[in-house]
Amino acid sequence: MATYDENNFLTSAEGAPIGDNQHSLTAGENGPVLLQDYHLLEKLAHFSRERIPERVVHAKGAGAFGTFTLTHDMSEYTKADIFNRQGKETEMFARFSTVAGESGSSDTARDPRGFALKFYTNEGNYDIVGLSFPVFFIRDAKKFPDFIHTQKRNPQTHLHSDRAKWDFWSLSPESLHMITMLFGDRGIPATYRNMNGFGTHTFMWVNADGKRSWIKYHFKPKDGVKSLMSDLAQKLDGENPDSATQDLFNSIESGNYPEWTMYVQIIPFEEGWNYKQNIFDVTRTVSHKDYPLIEVGKFTLNQNPRNYFADVEEATFSPANLVPGIEASPDKMLQGRLFSYADAHRYRVGANSAHIPVNAPKTPVHNYQVDGVMGVNEHQSQINYEPNSFDGQKEKPAAKERGYEVEGEIGHYVTYDDDFYSQPRALYNLISDDERERLIKNIADSLGNVKEDEIKRRQVINFYKVDPDYGQRVAKAIGLEIDFDKI
């Protein structure tokens, strides 16, 4: 039973005690409410400002704090402090999400899962903003807004549109690899604890001697990979659309801490340029036989957010949050992302989003960027310009990017080859016939909703080029007649 404690009182935002939180101030018992009821005004005004714009993608998510432990010293490949000295522990924050749905949408959608990690390293924050899949649908940032429009709601009906999805995909055959993963058994992770994570792109590691390597991140969950089949996912969608959010929170609350092991594939620098396929094409995986997984460390999530809004909604991850020893590759998707995230944060959270505790590095911040909305300017001295003659902070030459050689003329190049088929073909042939059956059914449940035969035909032909069996079975499942001999 709650008891009255005169020292435990409500205050205004300015800290003044509130005398009445239940009854508006009126002129007489039946008179109108007074403008001088500033507590009422503050409550109503703050209430209508409670929402910030939701993330334009990955709006529905859950997050937690944890610790990354380096189990293998990586100084041979990178000078990044987080990956040097076996046993080093680094605090971190993780956020998992679906991609296309709004912030109230279902956790059991057939959708890639976001796998975003922020490491508070001794050299500033390092973010890996990855996915539950090792590849993506498209491979040039210029196509991303159009692609996302097809995943979001139709501008007239405000409904999701299978027509838009398959129209775009059928005209973008580079998506076949990702589609085959998405509609297969791993398309709906059972919980956030039961999915793999990938950095997806290729990144560059640089060691203290300037030696460069290309690397790809992989994360495997301690609790194993488990997925939902479509019927169970639909049932859960109706019963508990927040099932993954709830599972993550409850697991951590009960001391069953989710854990992942981090691995990298390491591709020697020169070999990477000359490999049999372009290693910067994000629609392709790189053979584990050629470049096996090497263990790096483990991370454990052991602390729930103290406040969802402050820690999860206002969290800002960016692939551009890099530290010395880790650099961007020329991957054309990654290059676009280096701009897009901080730009989204400035719009969604504000120019000073890095001042918010979940985003703030644990290391001191020294720069000459000043003021702005919500700026707290904690780090700022009287000297707010550079160069100066008063011992202000200067750049650290050792932190300069190593980079790589480029040549050629400016142009809109078709850099990556048009073998859209051999990797999805290998995947199609790897899975069991039962899974193939479910893959076909999942595709048919969506592609079958498209009215236009032209779109269906184009997509079926794409599947046929992956494997004749794939195309023929999808055609049969959606009742489309095609003369495959004429293809």
Nearest alpha-carbon partner for 140 in 387, 350, 416, 366: 416
Placement of tokens 């899974």 in the chain: 435
Tokens of 280: 């910067």
- Scan residues 181-210 and list those touching ligand HEM (CB under 6 A): 200
In angstroms, the CA 131 to CA 197 distance is 6
Shortest distance (Å) from residue 5 CB to ligand HEM: 39
Placement of tokens 């036989």 in the chain: 289
Q: Is 114 in the site for ligand HEM (CB under 6 A)?
A: yes
Q: Is 129 in the site for ligand HEM (CB under 6 A)?
A: yes
On whether the CB atoms of residues 264 and 218 are closer than 8 A, the answer is yes
Q: Is 464 helix (H, G, I), strand (E, B) or coil?
A: helix
Q: Up-side HSE of residue 38: CA atoms within 13 Å toward CB? A: 7
Q: Is 56 in the site for ligand HEM (CB under 6 A)?
A: yes
What sign for the dihedral angle of Cα 244, 247, 250, 256? Answer: negative
In angstroms, the CA 85 to CA 199 distance is 22
Q: Is 337 in the site for ligand HEM (CB under 6 A)?
A: yes
Q: Which stretch binds ligand HEM (CB under 6 A): 53-61, 402-410, 427-435, 446-454?
A: 53-61
**Binder of ligand HEM out of 116, 176, 190, 466 (CB under 6 A):** 116
Q: Which stretch binds ligand HEM (CB under 6 A): 38-46, 128-136, 173-181, 244-252?
A: 128-136
Q: Is 109 in the site for ligand HEM (CB under 6 A)?
A: no
No. of H helices and E strands in the chain?
Answer: 13, 10
Q: Which position's Cβ is nearest ligand HEM?
A: 114
304-311: long-range pairs with CB below 8 Å, 24+: 304/64, 304/65, 304/249, 304/252, 304/253, 305/63, 305/64, 305/65, 310/356, 310/357, 310/358, 311/63, 311/65, 311/93, 311/357, 311/358
**Binder of ligand HEM out of 92, 279, 333, 450 (CB under 6 A):** 333
What sign for the dihedral angle of Cα 401, 407, 408, 409? Answer: positive
Q: Which stretch binds ligand HEM (CB under 6 A): 81-89, 270-278, 338-346, 423-431?
A: 338-346
Q: Is 98 in the site for ligand HEM (CB under 6 A)?
A: no
The smaller minimum CB distance to ligand HEM, of residues 84 and 180, is found at 180
Tokens of 358: 């979940």
Q: How many residues bind ligand HEM (CB under 6 A)?
A: 28
275 annotated as ligand-binding = no
The smaller minimum CB distance to ligand HEM, of residues 97 and 459, is found at 97
Q: Is 55 in the site for ligand HEM (CB under 6 A)?
A: yes
Shortest distance (Å) from residue 486 CB to ligand HEM: 36
**Binder of ligand HEM out of 60, 95, 139, 456 (CB under 6 A):** 95
Tokens of 193: 């604890």
- Scan residues 295-324 and list those touching ligand HEM (CB under 6 A): 315-317
Q: Is 241 in the site for ligand HEM (CB under 6 A)?
A: no
Q: Is 474 in the site for ligand HEM (CB under 6 A)?
A: no
Shortest distance (Å) from residue 140 CB to ligand HEM: 8
In angstroms, the CA 401 to CA 358 distance is 27
Q: Which residues bind ligand HEM (CB under 6 A)?
A: 55-58, 61, 95, 97, 114-116, 129-131, 136, 141, 144, 200, 315-317, 333, 336-337, 340-341, 344-345, 348
Q: Which residues are annotated as a binding site for heme?
A: 341
